[in-house]
Amino acid sequence: MMKTQKRARVILHRYLRQLATLCGLTLLSTMVSAQQLEVPADVLASQAKRVAAIKKASASTVMVFANEGKGGGSGVLISPDGYALSNYHVVQPAGTAMKCAINDGELYDAILVSIDPVGDVALIKLLGRDDFPYAKLEDSDQVRVGDWCFAVGNPFLLATDFNPTVTYGIVSGVHRYQYPAGTLLEYADCIQTDASINPGNSGGPLYNENGDLIGINGRGSFEKRGRVNVGVGYAISINQIKHFMGFLHSGRILDHATLGATVSTDEKGGVIVTNISESSDAFRRGLRYGDQLLSFGGRNITTVNGFKNVLGIYPRGWRVPLSFLHEGERIDTFVRLTGVHSPEELLARVQPNRQQRPAPMPDSEDPETPEEPMQPKPAKPASPELPAVVQPFYAARRGFANFHFNRLNQNRVWDAYTQQTKPETAKGDWVLRGKLGNLGDATITLTKTRVDAELPQGKAFAVLDNDLGQQESPRGSGGLLVALHLWKHIQQTGITQFGDVYYLGSMPTPKHKEKQDVLVATHSVIECRFYFSPSTGLLTSMEMFPDLGVDPCEIYFSEYESVNGRMLPRRLEIHHGDTVYGELNIEDFEFNIGERTE
């Protein structure tokens, strides 16, 4: 009897397994216990890993709710002090302040920090904690088609209980480029996935199978009438956002970059320059009509689509490596990228005429909107009646989403520098003595009214009461003496009295792979850019632009030494355009306070 029952159970188990296979169903645990089926250990381990990854990732996912019930979407925390990424088109209708929730069950006030309207990215800051759970930013260039991934967010604003929705899938495409299609937004180098991304998922995270952040969901293709995801969603790659991260902390309204040239494919399949602006830095670096692009930003360029992809991931103002063939000769150089829009054009696009009827938001339920591209609603102005809790975190200034955060970073960078260099003790005239490379002795005297230099090539001077932009001595330096004056002047006046100063963000230089913090300072119509190391706090380089559309005088500061408690650079390397003017090795600093160091 017992043998018959055992045989019957075996037959029943076999039948149920076959049925499950045919129907694509998992056997119900209520019908057959785990002890009887003996699930393989690797299957259980894989399941446990997936559950743990989703739990970790869900904790950093943000549900964004616009005030007064005017929509919302998703976001993701990226730091313990509450900074979170979302989409521009999600936060823009909310204005300056909004409510956000995470799955701890709490609702938090949040403030807008900065926006990238071209790339459809926004940075916000949740208030009230300094120990938020946050996501790890992965290297999205390592993402491959077929990788498992999952999207977490607030589709259709369902997460009223503050628990996000999770959808699972695979990466179905990488390095996707989509044209702006008449809108401000441009999606470049994005990740395509079949994980369901629906209206409300916008701004939320796309994680890899380990629960690490690889992208920000923002765009999807939808069935024409039902606004239902059809398995084609797009995420902005996290590597693109990493390029913009320092800029996003600046509180500015950001623009993307252009090379100043158009390209097409020739009959041999090469990517060829078809037009180029003579005012572009690329033109000054030697790029001409008919030249073939070989690499840009470290990527080989083999198609027009590939070039647009890599160009679209950089902010305005970055310097990027470029290689091209000119008359059969390979040229490797760095180019400064200009903006896609002029500052006034960008402001006009971000804040259009309110009397114009805006196109529907992608997270709306308009049945006539079959798919993205997306067109944001007009900006909601910052209300003077902001909630009391967010008022200390907001400052208005034209061209900025929130000038409060720009001021924070200005002070952070400048304070780190002056604590080590103590410029308040170096007032009055300066004298720098040393050698200009192997050419011989050099002495440069900086006074209030002029700069005089005794160089191996001869004497040079700059009269500071005259137009600074017209004085580029010594010859070939691009204005070294004026640049040194402005270096001295900002240290003696500080950033509050130098002129118009703002924090640009962070970016690498041709000599520094580590992103440098950048302060832009304008004095007497001369723009300077000062680059500071975030790890040391010291000034690593500066650029002085005597005029628009010309190469600046670049000075790289290095070999800092502590001299009487003050960190001073011993080596200055001067560049102008593609040439190195020289290296000034400083042996002696003299200041008017009677202090002499050797």
What is the residue type of 372? E
Considering 120, 189, 291, 551, which one is annotated as catalytic? Answer: 120
Helix, strand, or coil (residue 45): helix
- For the segment 170-178, the average pLDDT, to the nearest whole number, is 90
Q: Contact 437/583 with Cβ under 8 angstroms?
A: yes
Tell me the fold of 257-339: Pdz3 Domain (2.30.42)
- For 127-144, what is each residue's pLDDT tens digit? 999 999 999 999 999 999
Tell me the fold of 406-597: outer membrane lipoprotein receptor (LolB), chain A (2.50.20)
* Tokens describing residue 67: 């005030």
Q: Contact 491/428 with Cβ under 8 angstroms?
A: no
Correct CATH for 49-256+343-375 of 2.40.10.120, 2.40.40.20, 2.40.160.40, 3.40.50.970:
2.40.10.120
Active-site residue, 489 included: no
Q: Which distant-in-sequence residues (6+ apart) come within 8 Å of 445 by Cβ?
A: 429, 430, 431, 451, 452, 453
Least confident of 46-50, 275-279, 330-334, 461-465: 46-50
Is the pLDDT at 595 greater than 90? The verdict is: no
Closest by Cα among 502, 554, 547, 498 to 526:
547
Considering 202, 250, 280, 506, which one is annotated as catalytic? Answer: 202
- For the segment 458-462, the average pLDDT, to the nearest whole number, is 94
Provide the mean pLDDT of the chain: 86
Report the greatest alpha carbon distance in the chain: 114
Closest by Cα among 188, 208, 218, 39 to 122:
218
pLDDT of residue 549: 83
Least confident of 86-100, 378-392, 540-554: 378-392
Give the single-character DSSP code of 253.
B
Is the pLDDT at 391 greater than 80? The verdict is: yes
Q: So where are the chain's domains?
A: 49-256+343-375, 257-339, 406-597
pLDDT of residue 449: 92
Is the pLDDT at 578 greater than 60? The verdict is: yes
pLDDT of residue 23: 47
- For the segment 486-507, the average pLDDT, to the nearest whole number, is 94
Q: Which H/E stretch holds residue 524? A: none
pLDDT band, residue 252 (cuts 50/70/90): very high
- For 334-370, what is each residue's pLDDT tens digit? 999 999 998 888 888 886 543 333 333 333 333 223 3
* Tokens describing residue 58: 């869900």
Residue at token pair 């992965």: 138
* Tokens describing residue 539: 């000034």
pTM (predicted TM-score):
0.86
pLDDT of residue 159: 74
More confident position, 7 or 511: 511
Q: 30-37: which pairs have CB atoms within 8 A and are 24 or more residues apart?
A: 37/13
Give the single-character DSSP code of 275.
E
- What torsion, rounded to 10 degrees, do the Cα atoms 341, 347, 350, 352 define? -110
pLDDT of residue 367: 28
Active-site residue, 42 included: no
Considering 58, 89, 116, 256, which one is annotated as catalytic? Answer: 89
pLDDT of residue 3: 54
Q: Contact 571/559 with Cβ under 8 angstroms?
A: yes
pLDDT of residue 291: 96
pLDDT band, residue 106 (cuts 50/70/90): very high
Active-site residue, 109 included: no
Helix, strand, or coil (residue 442): strand
- For the segment 404-408, the average pLDDT, to the nearest whole number, is 97
CA 131 to chain CA mean position, Å: 23
Q: Contact 421/561 with Cβ under 8 angstroms?
A: no
Alpha carbons within 13 angstroms on the beta-carbon side of residue 408 total: 15
- For the segment 422-447, the average pLDDT, to the nearest whole number, is 91
Helix, strand, or coil (residue 493): helix
pLDDT of residue 4: 52
C-alpha R_g of the chain: 29
Residue at token pair 């997270």: 363
Q: What is the sign of the dihedral through the CA atoms of 422, 423, 425 and 431?
A: positive
